[in-house]
Structures are given as C-alpha cells and as structure tokens.
Amino acid sequence: MKTYNLLENDKFAEIINKQSRLIGIDHGKKNIGIAISDENHNIATPLTTIEFTQLKHFLIEIKNIIKENNVEAIVVGNPINMDGSIGPRAQSAKDFSKSLTEQLSIPVTLWDERLSSEGAYKGMSELSINVTKKQKKLDENSAAFILQGFLDYYKIKQNK
C-alpha cells in the first residue's frame, strides 16, 4: 500500500489528478462532516455526517465512501485560532489527519477552516430550513465550505 505523509497545500495541489474527486472532512468531537467534489474540482457538495465513536469505525465508513465515489484525495479542516495560533482543536485535527495518512493510500492535506461553521450556517440561513435540520446538516455543510475553499485555491493555482 502506497502511503503519503501529511502534505502542505501546494504539494497536495501539485499531485492530485486534474480529473479526480476529493472529499472534505470537518472533524469534530462527536460528528465528522463529509463533503465531496465533482471530478472537475468546481464544486463541493455536502455528503453525509458520520457519528464519531472510534477511529477504526470511522475508517471503515470513510474507506467505503472513498471506494464508492472513486475519491483520490482528502482535505481536512484545520481549526486554527483566529490569530493564527495552533490550539488543542488544531492539534487534534493534525493528529487525526496523520492517522488518515497511515491508514489510507491517498494524499491528505489540512485546510484552514476558520469560520467554516459560521459560513455554512449563514449559507443555510438563506434557505427555508428549520433550525433542527440546520443543526443536523451543519457538519457536512461545514465540510463542503472547507472543501470549496480548497477547490477555489486549487483553481487559482491551476490558472497561474
């Protein structure tokens, strides 16, 4: 099994195929939001929320998602503090991402997710969805917000 180290965004953008699907992950203590891109890296779509109980159970589910959707790489949200410092949540996301690189044979990168939950919630506020449904879908919408941020960055890099 080919393994990758946790990659910096520039290196990650260089090695992903131009026609490939990516998943975005919003890692939380209880829930993990998952989003998926189209093959052309234009748009991120919320996919699902996985209840996080143990890493081994999560890995079974994420491996199924990767296989079913022909996913070639993963973007994990990195919750760095607003001042740019690394707090406990960012360290947890980094540890989680390193675990993914050890267990999966596809590239993984961290993406700055500051304000992703707020952005996702505001985006859902524009829709006529009740608060309970918004809360239920927040994690996967946050994952889509994170992944879309990377996709936009990737498109800019490709056009240089």
Query: What are the tens digits of pLDDT across the range 39-75?
Result: 999 999 999 999 999 999 999 999 999 999 999 999 9
User: Is 4 among the domain residues?
Assistant: no
Total tally of structural domains belonging to the chain: 1
For residue 157, which phi and psi values (nearest 5 degrees)?
-60, -40
User: Is 59 among the domain residues?
Assistant: yes
Using one digit for the tens of pLDDT, what is the confidence trace for 70-96? 999 999 999 988 788 888 889 999 999
User: Is 65 among the domain residues?
Assistant: yes
Please report, for the domain that includes residue 127, its CATH number. Answer: 3.30.420.140
**Domain with 154 in it:** 9-158
User: Is 3 among the domain residues?
Assistant: no
Sheet with 71-78, strands from edge to edge, namely: 44-51, 31-37, 21-27, 71-78, 108-112
Residue 5 CA: distances (Å) to CA of 12, 105, 133 = 10, 10, 37
User: Is 141 among the domain residues?
Assistant: yes
User: Is 35 among the domain residues?
Assistant: yes
Instruction: Record the pTM.
Output: 0.86
Tokens of 69: 């959707």
User: Is 99 among the domain residues?
Assistant: yes
User: Is 2 among the domain residues?
Assistant: no
- Cβ(101)–Cβ(108) under 8 Å? yes
